[in-house]
Amino acid sequence: MQPPARWRAGEEGTEYFLVKWKGWPESSNTWVPLKNLKCPLLLQYFHSDKNEYLSQLKRGKAVILKNHIKALNPVVAQYIVKKAKQRIALQRWKEELNRKKNHKGMILVENTVDLEGPPLDFYYINEYKPAPGINIMNGITTGCECSDCPAEKCCPEEAGFFLAYNKQKQLKIQPGLPIYECNSYCRCGPECPNRIVQKGTPYSLCIFRTNNGRGWGVKTLQKIKTKRFVMEYVGEVITNEEAERRGQLYDNQGNTYLFDLDYDSDEYTVDAARYGNVSHFVNHSCDPNLQVFNVFIDNLDLRLPRIALFSTRTIKAGEELTFDYQMKGSLDVTSDSDAVSPMRKRIRTVCKCGAVCCRGYLN
């Protein structure tokens, strides 16, 4: 049930709540005395939402009706109804996200700022979604024969690079260098120390509404140590020609989620506008705590690396996760041509990251 409004009889002092019954239309709403309600959590939400709204207005006088009966101000009651509906919608969205995700960490959703609900045109995916005509698998048929991957000639060395992780599963390579993980054909098992990104984020994260006009953001609910894998950036893989077309449309909306895959060439782009995971909601910062790396696992096509975000420092529980859309973070010691290209921003966009070193614009 959902109690959207409060009622008090003048003489008897009996409180009534207008109740929305689950599974029934609003035309079936009924007034129920407080003593008959067995929903302490909903009543708690009701009073919390009412007090929150009244505190925002710094006023809250009851409206005097006929027969000296008092009722909650209709504006306040309307807010409580919208807040209750938003709470239900966000709870359902959270449940949907956790059904679809395939990693260990949980996903929470939180909005204590406004009445914005779940995005209407966003679909959660766990891996790249290729557009028609794009093949994101190159038919790899071999893997390493290692029994102890760090000690033997493993996948990275076969590709001419160093193993990316140490024994504590921390990143040990510099930004700009690729990560080659063991693949599905490798002899090693799932506990191989060279299988990190492919297991998905191990942390519980919260998609939350920011209070400074940046829309949704993502914060960690657990402490994250430095140089640890946090999440993968996924979306729809499209050609750069299609990205240019979509980019013009996104410019009119004031945002875009286009991420060029130009590790080796400038042929494909990841578009996370409609299809993506938690990374869809990660905001920009000029002083970020996440850094981008190119990853190759079951696909060795240099035009189609997977994009992984690693922590640049220790991140406290409750801290917002960010990365630099221009890829000039604190760990980046490579040239721009060696790093992964950022999300495209054609229109000059004011940056609201709040960092001391803020450049003023996202692009």
Catalytic residue among 165, 233, 263, 275: 233
Q: Is 283 annotated as a binding residue?
A: yes
Q: Is 47 annotated as a binding residue?
A: no
Q: Is 39 annotated as a binding residue?
A: no
Q: Is 24 annotated as a binding residue?
A: no
DSSP 160-224: TS--SB-TTS-B-S-TTS-EE---TT-SS-TT-TT-SGGG---S-EEEEE-SSS--EEEEESS-B
Asked if residues 113 and 217 have their Cβ atoms less than 8 Å apart, the reply is no
Single out the residue of 336, 328, 334 nearest to residue 361, CA to CA.
Answer: 328
Q: Is 274 annotated as a binding residue?
A: no
Q: Is 206 annotated as a binding residue?
A: no
Q: Is 286 annotated as a binding residue?
A: yes
Calpha distance 74→312 (Å, rounded): 50
Q: Is 155 annotated as a binding residue?
A: yes
Cβ atoms within 10 Å of 323's Cβ, excluding its own: 24
Phi-psi label, residue 139: left if phi above 0, alpha if psi -120 to 50, beta otherwise: left
Catalytic residue among 79, 165, 263, 325: 325
Q: Compute CA distances 150 → 173, 174, 360, whole Å.
A: 14, 18, 44
Q: Is 240 annotated as a binding residue?
A: no
Asked if residues 324 and 284 have their Cβ atoms less than 8 Å apart, the reply is yes
Q: Is 357 annotated as a binding residue?
A: no
Q: Is 325 a catalytic residue?
A: yes
The answer for residues whose C-beta is within 8 angstroms of residue 134's C-beta and 6 or more apart is 237, 238, 239, 268
DSSP 102-153: -SSS-EEEE--SSS--S-TT-EE-SS-EEPTT-------------SSGGGS-
Single out the residue of 307, 305, 301, 298 nearest to residue 184, CA to CA.
Answer: 298
Task: Tell me the binding residues for Zn(2+).
Answer: 144, 146, 149, 154-155, 182, 186, 188, 192, 286, 351, 353, 358
Active site residues: 233, 325
Residues flagged as binding site: 144, 146, 149, 154-155, 182, 186, 188, 192, 214-216, 283-284, 286, 325, 351-353, 358
Known binding site for S-adenosyl-L-methionine: residues? 214-216, 283-284, 325, 352
